[in-house]
């Protein structure tokens, strides 16, 4: 019950443009919470929202990079995760999304478990359906898309191997 209340409050606050200014603080807090919980939770989890750590090889360097992200769960399929490359509504795509766009596989760290996933970028009607699901889950994505201007967010479906 408490988690639903926190998630509802987080969704409401996250849909306001002022929330975009909190990005630096959220990122520092997330690293701290993940360190304290040994990666089992991030600050978004504390706020009642689902988050995970994505590890993917750099497209040029090949060096594995890890980033903490909000994800859109698929209730009917717990092995599928939807990631949105919103980058807090900034005009440039996040680096992780460029790396993921070139990858066939990646690793997720979720609730203390690490596992491999396949990566699929979404396009066309499939992307539009996923986008509608993402905005219904996290209304802040619509605001972030407006802030990003012409940039169209990259959407990815990750599936547990």
pTM of the predicted protein model: 0.85
Strands 72-73 and 80-84: antiparallel
Residue 58 CA: distances (Å) to CA of 2, 45, 65, 135, 157: 38, 26, 7, 28, 19
Average pLDDT score over the chain: 88
H and E: helices and strands count for the chain: 6, 7
pLDDT at 119 over 90: yes
Output 160 or 5, whichever has higher pLDDT.
160
> Does residue 27 have a pLDDT over 60?
yes
pLDDT digits (tens, 9 = 90+) for 134-156: 999 998 899 899 999 999 999 99
CA distance 21 to 91: 15
Percent pLDDT > 70 in the chain is 86
Listed by start position, the domains of the chain span: 2-160
Q: Which of 19-23, 32-36, 115-119 has the highest mean pLDDT?
A: 115-119
Angle, vertex CA 52, rays to CA 32 and CA 68, nearest 5: 50
Assess if CATH 3.40.50.970 describes domain 2-160: no
Report d(CA 45, CA 105) in Å as an integer. Answer: 24
Q: 83 - beta bridge partners?
A: 156
d(CA 146, CA 77): 30
């Amino acid at each position: 019950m408490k988690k639903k209340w926190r998630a509802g409050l987080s969704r409401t606050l996250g849909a306001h443009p002022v929330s975009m200014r909190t990005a630096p603080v959220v990122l520092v807090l997330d690293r701290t919470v993940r360190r304290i919980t040994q990666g089992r939770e991030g600050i978004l989890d504390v706020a009642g929202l689902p988050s995970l750590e994505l590890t993917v090889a750099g497209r040029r360097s090949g060096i594995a990079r890890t980033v903490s992200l909000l994800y859109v769960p698929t209730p009917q399929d717990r092995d599928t995760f939807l990631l949105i490359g919103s980058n807090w509504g900034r005009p440039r795509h996040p680096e992780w999304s460029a790396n993921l766009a070139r990858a066939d596989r990646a690793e997720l760290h979720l609730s203390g478990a690490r596992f491999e996933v396949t990566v699929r970028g979404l396009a066309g009607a499939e992307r539009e359906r996923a986008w509608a699901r993402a905005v219904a889950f996290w209304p802040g994505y619509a605001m972030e898309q407006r802030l990003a201007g012409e940039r169209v967010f990259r959407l990815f479906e990750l599936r547990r191997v």
